[in-house]
Amino acid sequence: MANFDTGSTGFMLLATSLVMLMTPGLAFFYGGLAGKKNILGIMIQSFVSMGITTIMWYICGYSLCFSGDAMGGIIGNLDKAFMHGVDLNTAFTGNGTPLFSGNKNIPEFVFFAYQMMFAIITPALITGAFVNRVTFKSYLIFLVVWQVLVYYPFAHMVWGGGLLAKWGVLDFAGGIVVHATAGFAALASVIFVGKRRNADATPNSIPLIAIGTGLLWFGWYGFNAGSALDVNAITAQAFINTDVAASFATITWLIIEWSLVKKPKFVGLLTGAVAGLATITPAAGFVTLNGAVAIGIASGLVCYVAVHFKNKMGWDDALDVWGVHGMGGVTGTILLGVFATKAVNASGAEGLLTGGTNFFLIQLGAVIGASIYAFIFTYVMLFIINKITKVRVSDTEEDNGLDVALHGEKAYDEGAL
């Protein structure tokens, strides 16, 4: 039997559990924001990803992300398909990326499970954009194809020792791999699917949104601090940076909205928290606490402006996926290029403030390129899926609500709410 470090292994199992909890948390968050007739329709899209993505991850997903190089480093190979060659004694070796360098002394099964939770939640993030407009069958096709041709390549290129890692791109926990790709895929989805027939639907349960936000914030400690894959000072830095950035973004959003609409909005406060969490994600283990403060403030401002720009443009991104996750991921990745310092993480880089102009430009180019690719591919993919099976529900189904029309269920008994 291999002699793994019990502390690091135990911590990573806990972090994996926390990230797993984020997907149900997202379901609650989106479920509360949705209209009363579409609660289950949006929640099932998160929960079904937990099943399908796990199956895909075992069959080929893990291998395509973290096994060797193919197509010039754009995606991995199939050497570890069905977890071939990996058993309970196999150690995680780092996959050749600076972020995962060194002997982490944990089982590869643990890394497999941890990264699987990221793959589960990323496509689920997109669903908030097209709530109550998309058929379940088309979503299932979308879930499979989008992961294979968007998530897997970027996970490999950034975290699996692929092309972007070789260029020096850094992403501590998913600014590019998770939030930018999902956010701009969401925008493409909105433009393809079109507006809701009733775009003025109000959230059915603000307390449910608060529960979801609490679960997301709690799980995000595993999302960011766990990405150190160890228990050390960088782990602690990522943990506190996550909390501080989220807190500053929360209050920044609250202040801006309060000053403009003259009332302190609870939904706005909760949205600001999620924006801050998304924005600090790529930088959590690479910047100082002061850098996290600046990123949090910038997040509250940029994401608030992005949401209102979206409204002005008439994009019916129902739950603000692009404004919060897309622009949060882009902002955090660019600001990592500004605030990064090797004084925090020797495996990181020096940002613009400490003379790292080249690193800043690399981060800028990578996140813009990833966003453009995710947008274009998603739009084209939906166009093709629509030729196979209709993507948008009928007017009648939309008017009746997807809970009953597609799933034959209701979230609440009549008269409960």
pLDDT on residue 414: 67
pLDDT at residue 156, as a whole number: 97
Instruction: Choose among 272, 271, 260: nearest CA to 299.
Output: 272
Q: Which of 90-99, 274-283, 361-370 has the lowest mean pLDDT?
A: 90-99
Quickly state the pLDDT bin for 96 (edges 50, 70, 90): low
User: Residues with Cβ < 8 Å from 61, sequence gap 6 or more?
Assistant: 53, 116, 119, 147, 148, 152
- The predicted structure's pLDDT at residue 201: 75
| pLDDT greater than 70 at residue 255 | yes
C-alpha 86/C-alpha 101 separation (Å) is 19
Q: What residues contact residue 200 under an 8 Å CB cut-off, 6+ apart?
A: none
What letter does residue 107 receive in the DSSP assignment? B
What DSSP line would sit under 253-299, residue for residue?
HHHHHHHHHSS--HHHHHHHHHHHHHHHGGGTTTS-HHHHHHHHHHH
| pLDDT higher than 60, residue 278 | yes
What length does the chain have? 417
pLDDT at 3: 86
Cβ atoms of 344 and 234 within 8 Å: the answer is: yes
Which residue, among 187, 369, 174, has the nearest Cα to 278 in the 3D structure? Answer: 174
**Close Cβ partners of 175 (under 8 Å, ≥ 6 residues apart):** 278, 279, 281, 282, 283, 329, 330, 332, 333, 336, 367
How much is the average pLDDT of 256-271?
97
* Residue 409 or residue 416, greater confidence: 409
310-319: per-residue pLDDT in tens?
999 999 999 9
The per-residue pLDDT for 104 is 65
Task: Tell me: pLDDT of 101 over 60.
Answer: no
- For the residues 112-133, what does the mean pLDDT come to? 97
What's the pLDDT score for residue 89?
Answer: 93
Residue 307 has pLDDT above 60, yes or no: yes
- Predicted pLDDT of residue 98: 58
User: For 149-203, what is each residue's pLDDT tens digit?
Assistant: 999 999 999 999 999 999 999 999 999 999 999 999 999 999 999 999 887 778 9
Angle at 116 between CA 112 and CA 120, to 5 degrees: 175
Which pLDDT band holds residue 413 (cuts at 50, 70, 90)?
confident
Q: Domains of the chain, with CATH numbers? A: 6-405 (1.10.3430.10)
pLDDT of residue 198: 84
Output the six-digit token pair for 197: 């027939």
Q: What percent of the chain has pLDDT over 90?
A: 93
